[in-house]
Amino acid sequence: MKKIILSVLTLLSLSSCGIYKKYKPATEVPENLYGKEVAAETDSTDNIASRSWREFFTDSQLQVLIEEGLRNNTDLQSAQWRVKEAEAALTAAKLAYLPSFNLAPNGNVSSFDHSKASWTYTAPVTASWEIDIFNKLTNSKRQAKALLLQSREYEQAVQTQLIASIANSYYTLLMLDEQYSISKETAYTYEESVRAMRAMKKAGMTNDAGVSQMEAAYYAIESSLQDIKRSINEVENTLSVLLGSVPHDIERNQLNAQTFTCDLRIGVPVQLLANRPDVRASEQALAQAFYATNVARSALYPSLTLSGTAGWTNNLGSAIINPGKVILSAAGSLVQPIFNKGRLHANVKIAKAQQEEAKLAFQQSLLNAGKEVNDALTQHQKAEAKVEWRRKQVASLENAVKKTELLMRHSSTTYLEVLTARQTLLQARLSQATDRFESIQGIVNLYHALGGGREERI
């Protein structure tokens, strides 16, 4: 009989070798993940994601805001609690290897045909220990460990996103401040022009239409200032929420004072596997699905459980304080599923399907990451090119405004040409501030897309 059992166990072990395998982490990424043009430019293993956010974002006011956000943001705190849950789940999975003990005392009293009552009691300690022959417990532990790693990567992803969101909101405020300053300066110029036009009307050098047009332009600028103020207030409120605070004024510097000293190296694509927290979290989800499939397979094979009982009991009718006899028992059970195999096989199919879904989600996360790197780098490069062209445009328009103002005073040029030149200059200067912001935003998005800030743990 013993030989038969050993033969069965050997056969089952050979047929179940897949449940002992460990998940192998991904080491390859799709070719030209960043795009052909971007991939051709990078041959360095260094990248900006390896920089501390304090080194990358050098603005002192922004650093204060990021630190406040890392302390108080509720989404980040929620992610941290998620890590604690996963740590507890892993602890529980590890404890499953140990025997379980339960104290189960019970007693009763009986009396037959009005006879004296008899007391009996039993005070046993029961133990049960499942032997992990087919790696069910091991795969469950590995699955719990993958969940813990995933939750930690999720926490890192929330933190990286938080840093990028705070930085983008901060730079948005700087852009709006710059646009407000430009519009305010233009409004003052238009107000002076209205006075000049009224004086020229009195001198017979222009008419009511010219004065009205200039007044309308001045009123439009003043109106736009209110829109910018509203936008500033909304962005400050958004940033306050990111900081885990009520709406309040945000201390900040100026857009033109912003500098980035780090070279914008993006590194090799395979580094996304090490740096991007969402990619790593997606891979850990795949690892969980892998071990879940192994757990489902393990359920197809026998489970061996050792159990025992130790305690004492009194004899029927003995005094309650008399411990009576010691009771001891031990047993072992080998359970092989038979009639529910169809359901267990269905569970394996479900687990395999979920594993394939997780694999596709992981592949998609890599593709998304490559796209985001390409988008961010392109945004920065094109915005930088626009900045130079915009600078030339603004210089030419400033010269045009001066010339048309002189011509209107000393020749036949009309107020409409002056008004058009000024409005065009205003739009160019506002666009210049936007271009500078888009360039900075591209840098921030690139830092985020590459998984920057991994070394900055809470």
Count of C-beta atoms within a 10 Å radius of residue 453: 28
| Helices and strands (DSSP H and E) totals, the chain | 11, 5
Would you say residue 275 has pLDDT above 60? yes
List, for residues 300-355, the tens digit of each pLDDT value: 887 777 777 766 676 544 444 455 676 667 666 666 676 677 888 888 899 999 99
Instruction: With respect to residue 261, please indicate whether it lies within any of the assigned structural domains.
Output: yes
pLDDT category at 1 given cuts 50, 70, 90 is very low
Instruction: With respect to residue 190, please indicate whether it lies within any of the assigned structural domains.
Output: yes
The DSSP call for residue 337 is -
Cα 439 to Cα 71: distance, rounded to the nearest angstrom: 29
Query: Quick one: pLDDT at residue 159?
Result: 92
Tell me how far apart the terminal alpha carbons of the chain are, to the nearest angstrom.
Answer: 60
Instruction: With respect to residue 37, please indicate whether it lies within any of the assigned structural domains.
Output: no
How many domains does one find in the chain? 1
Residue range of the domain that includes 399: 42-96+137-297+346-449
List, for residues 50-94, the tens digit of each pLDDT value: 788 888 898 999 999 999 999 999 999 999 999 999 989 888 888
Burial class (CB in 10 A: 0-12, 13-18, 19+), 99: exposed
Instruction: With respect to residue 170, please indicate whether it lies within any of the assigned structural domains.
Output: yes
The tokens describing 181, both together, are: 């300053």
Instruction: With respect to residue 109, please indicate whether it lies within any of the assigned structural domains.
Output: no
Instruction: With respect to residue 421, please indicate whether it lies within any of the assigned structural domains.
Output: yes
Instruction: With respect to residue 34, please indicate whether it lies within any of the assigned structural domains.
Output: no
CATH of residue 394's domain is: 1.20.1600.10
Going by C-beta distance under 8 Å and a sequence separation of 6 or more, which residues neighbour residue 383?
435, 436, 438, 439, 441, 442
Least confident window among 201-205, 244-248, 273-277, 296-300: 201-205
Task: Dump strand ranges (E) for 183-246.
Answer: none
Would you say residue 14 has pLDDT above 70? no
Cα 63 to Cα 367: distance, rounded to the nearest angstrom: 31
The DSSP call for residue 310 is E
Residue that the structure tokens 């033969």 belong to: 7
Contact indicator for 34, 370 with CB cutoff of 8 Å = yes
What are the backbone dihedrals phi and psi of residue 314, each rounded to the nearest 5 degrees, phi first? -95, 160
Q: Is 205 helix (H, G, I), strand (E, B) or coil?
A: coil
pLDDT category at 405 given cuts 50, 70, 90 is confident
How far is Cα of residue 259 from the mean position of the Cα atoms in its chain?
26
Instruction: With respect to residue 145, please indicate whether it lies within any of the assigned structural domains.
Output: yes
Instruction: Look up residue 252 and give its amino acid.
Output: R
